[in-house]
Amino acid sequence: MLETGILITLLSIVANMPPAPPPVSGDRATSSQQMLSWNPGEVRCDGVAVQGGAVQRPAAELALMDPQRLKAATYRFAIDLDGRTRSIMRDNSGHPFGQDIGPALAASRFPAGAKRENCEIDYTPKIDPLASAPIADLVAYSIHPTGAKLPLEGWDLFAPVGNCRDKPRPATLLRAYPDFSKVTPTPGSRDWSLVGYDTDDTGRPVNARIAHSTGNAELDAAAVAAVQASRFTRGARTGCLYPYWRAAAKLAPPKRPAEQELRPANAVCPGQIEWAVRPNSYYPPAYRKRAIEGWAIVSFDVAPWGEIGNVKILDAQPSADFGQQATFIVRGARVVPSPQGASGCVKTVNFMMPTDDFWVDEELPATD
């Protein structure tokens, strides 16, 4: 079904969303590591400040660098009639940090009913020593690290006083999990609940409570109940922690135009391309984590020997990042050789999450 484009999707395998590893202790990394966060500024469209809306805050990162090398990241975008962002593009870069800014902006929402163009927002970097970093950032990073594990000194800042981390640590006899299908997910954002608890002499959890969370009340209640149903080896302990998390609800991509509308008038390309090496690549990782779907329409030429070249992005939504990924996908493919080759071929690369809300980081080959 080449008329509908190339599909990049993820394989849904499990019925329950697995939790992150329990926060027993972190790596004993150097104290020179810092927490980098990105603070969104004012949104302006055509020079006018946009009132209302909810701008998602990008995930914090561990950083080991000179703060003077970091610069504000400027993003340009548009807002559709539903209040969704689209045509997201970063103005400047130069360092590997801030990979979650674009996805966070794609998950942001603004008042519906007014289409806006030429929008702009600046994200200002802020570096904190671990000792003064926001607790919410430290906890979130401990559950979903994007690089090195959180150092032990980071754990110590939010771990309750107690003996649960002392050796020998309690062994898990029964780990209960929430029924994640009954927890309403948040579109474009993972939710997590960090449960604090103690155990009595028999290893039964007592005094279970939410230590920190993203505020999903359903997940909080289910997480506490799951800890209460768990069992551990004998021995009274205090200050134990365990996290549960729920994948983001997927965000469907904006409506896309028909390929015919973008095909060059002088195109010489068959309606059905026969692949010698099929397109295949990874879903853009930062958008996969937030379950944000997208698409890109690209044009390309084909040499008689099957090599693909002159790849151009005709349109990509909701972010230019999907277009960049699509070019890698198309360039990595090859077409069955033909006497004349082809020019002006136009295809859509669709990036789709599974049909349900539970997914794992595993890729399927691209399909027509």
Work out how many domains the chain is built from and give that number. 3
The pLDDT of residue 95: 65
Distance CA 339, CA 350 (A): 30
106 and 48 assigned to the same domain:
yes
268 and 318 assigned to the same domain:
yes
Name the residue type at position 190.
Answer: R
Q: Which of 217, 246, 275 is the last residue of a domain?
A: 246
**Tokens for 194?**
């960090």
Distance CA 247, CA 190 (A): 5
The pLDDT of residue 355: 64
Q: Count H helices and E strands in the chain, helices first.
A: 7, 18
Fill in the DSSP letter of residue 241.
E
Examine residue 24 and state whether it is found in any structural domain, yes or no: no
Examine residue 360 and state whether it is found in any structural domain, yes or no: no
Fill in the DSSP letter of residue 51.
P
Q: Which of 246, 277, 292 is the last residue of a domain?
A: 246
Q: Which residues have a Cβ under 8 Å from the Cβ of 230 and sit 6 or more positions away?
A: 172, 174, 175, 176, 205, 242
38 and 152 assigned to the same domain:
yes
Examine residue 260 and state whether it is found in any structural domain, yes or no: yes
Per-residue pLDDT tens digits for 172-205: 999 999 999 999 999 999 999 999 999 999 999 9
230 and 262 assigned to the same domain:
no
264 and 230 assigned to the same domain:
no
* Low-confidence residues in the chain, pLDDT < 50: 1-4, 10-18, 20, 24-30, 357-368
The pLDDT of residue 67: 65
Return the CATH number at 326. Answer: 3.30.2420.10
Examine residue 363 and state whether it is found in any structural domain, yes or no: no
Distance CA 268, CA 249 (A): 41
User: What are the contacts of 201-209 at 24+ separation with CB within 8 A?
Assistant: 201/234, 201/235, 201/236, 202/234, 203/170, 203/173, 203/231, 203/232, 203/233, 203/234, 203/235, 204/231, 204/232, 205/230, 205/231, 205/232, 205/240
302 and 222 assigned to the same domain:
no
The pLDDT of residue 346: 95
Phi, psi (rounded to 5 degrees) for 150: -65, 130
| Contact between 181 and 246 (Cβ < 8 Å) | no
144 and 217 assigned to the same domain:
no
Examine residue 22 and state whether it is found in any structural domain, yes or no: no
Examine residue 19 and state whether it is found in any structural domain, yes or no: no
The pLDDT of residue 93: 63
| Contact between 243 and 20 (Cβ < 8 Å) | yes
130 and 167 assigned to the same domain:
no
Q: Which of 198, 227, 246 is the last residue of a domain?
A: 246
49 and 97 assigned to the same domain:
yes
Examine residue 23 and state whether it is found in any structural domain, yes or no: no
119 and 187 assigned to the same domain:
no
The b/e string for 192-206 (b: 16+ C-beta within 10 A; e otherwise) is bbbbbbbbeeebebe
Domain that holds residue 62: 34-156
Per-residue pLDDT tens digits for 8-39: 654 333 334 445 455 544 444 445 789 999 99
